[in-house]
Amino acid sequence: MPYPRLTVTTRASLVALSALALLSLVQWVRPRHLVSLEVLVYLLGVLPNLAAVIAITFVLLATWLDQQPTAAPGDMRRRFRACALFATGGLIVWEVGQRSSRGLRFDNHDIAATVVGLGLSWWVYGWVSRVAPGQRDGQ
């Protein structure tokens, strides 16, 4: 018996969970100083922003898709754009807000990682939104 096809909602949820797992792993590794190679230390510094924009986008999208299982592809695309822009904008506002707070550090590289995460979100959305011809989500 073949495995059942994953619904769009399930794929969006899996992306969200994967991004949250990456974010958690990075947050666990960073304070332990387990990495000394300079490029890996840099990646551990910016990966939270990259993972967060993907996680926020797909958590919001999966929540909406769960409530709208028969959404048309155009509606889903518009909702994805809104979720992605909300996540990106929120993370950039948070980063800029760190300029005026004590204990937090503003970093242009975090903003760049957020934008890269936005690009990755668009790329991953291509997989998430793919539905077999003639098949609707949930069938």
Percent of the residues in the chain that have a pLDDT greater than 70, as a whole number: 91
Torsion sign across C-alpha atoms 103, 108, 112, 115: positive
CA-closest candidate to residue 23, choices 5, 41, 50, 1: 50
Q: What is the pLDDT of residues 32-54, one digit of tens each?
A: 777 788 888 889 889 999 999 99
Q: What is the pLDDT of residues 69-112, one digit of tens each?
A: 888 999 999 999 999 999 999 999 999 988 887 777 888 999 99
The whole-angstrom separation of Cα 106 and Cα 112 is 12
The whole-angstrom separation of Cα 6 and Cα 37 is 39
Q: Which of 11-15, 29-33, 59-63, 123-127 has the lowest mean pLDDT?
A: 29-33
